C-alpha cells in the first residue's frame, strides 16, 4: 500500500470518527480528534499527488467523508450558536432592572436595588 493510500485511509477514518462524535455531541472526543486530523492531513500532504486510479478513489472517498464531517460539524456549530444566543438573552433579561420594578415586585417601602439576585421577601 502506498503512502498516499495509507494517509487518505487514515484521514478518512479520523473524519468518520469526528462526524460520529459530533452527532453524539461528544465535545471532549472532538477536541482529541482535532490533533489526529492535523497529523493525518500532514501525512496526506507529504504523500504527494495521486498517481493511480486506486489512489484517486481513496482521495474521493476521503473527500466524501470530509463533506459528511463538515455537515455534522456545521450542525454542532449551529446548535452551540443557538445556546450562546439564548444564554446571552437570558443573562440580559436577568440583568434588566425593569424586572425588579414596582410592577414586578409590588408596592415597596424601601428603594429598589438593581442587582442580578432577586431579594427574598421575608413575609413570603
Q: Write the pLDDT tens digit of every residue in 85-124.
A: 999 998 888 877 665 555 555 555 555 554 444 444 444 4
In a domain, 111, yes or no: no
C-alpha cell of residue 121: 421577601
* pLDDT one-digit tens code per residue, 54-95: 999 999 999 999 999 999 999 989 998 999 999 999 888 887
- Count of domains forming the chain: 1
In a domain, 122, yes or no: no
Q: How far apart are CA 108 and CA 124, in angstroms?
A: 14
Specify the pLDDT at position 124: 44
Task: Give the domain range for residue 9.
Answer: 3-95
- Tell me the whole-structure pTM to 2 decimals: 0.67
Q: Which helix (H) or strand (E) holds 36?
A: helix 27-47
What CATH number has the domain bearing residue 89? 1.20.58
Q: How far apart are CA 17 and CA 75, in angstroms?
A: 16
Specify the pLDDT at position 107: 53
In a domain, 116, yes or no: no
Q: Degrees (nearest 5) of the Cα angle 71, 19, 73?
A: 40
Amino acid at each position: 500500500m502506498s503512502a498516499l493510500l495509507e494517509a487518505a485511509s487514515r484521514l478518512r477514518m479520523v473524519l468518520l470518527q469526528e462526524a460520529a462524535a459530533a452527532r453524539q455531541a461528544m465535545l471532549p472526543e472532538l477536541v482529541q480528534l482535532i490533533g489526529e486530523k492535523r497529523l493525518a492531513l500532514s501525512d496526506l500532504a507529504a504523500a504527494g499527488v495521486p498517481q493511480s486510479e486506486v489512489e484517486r478513489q481513496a482521495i474521493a472517498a476521503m473527500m466524501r467523508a470530509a463533506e459528511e464531517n463538515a455537515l455534522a460539524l456545521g450542525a454542532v456549530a449551529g446548535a452551540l450558536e443557538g445556546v450562546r444566543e439564548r444564554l446571552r438573552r437570558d443573562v440580559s433579561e436577568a440583568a434588566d432592572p425593569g424586572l425588579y420594578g414596582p410592577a414586578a415586585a409590588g408596592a415597596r417601602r424601601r428603594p429598589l436595588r438593581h442587582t442580578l439576585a432577586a431579594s427574598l421577601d421575608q413575609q413570603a
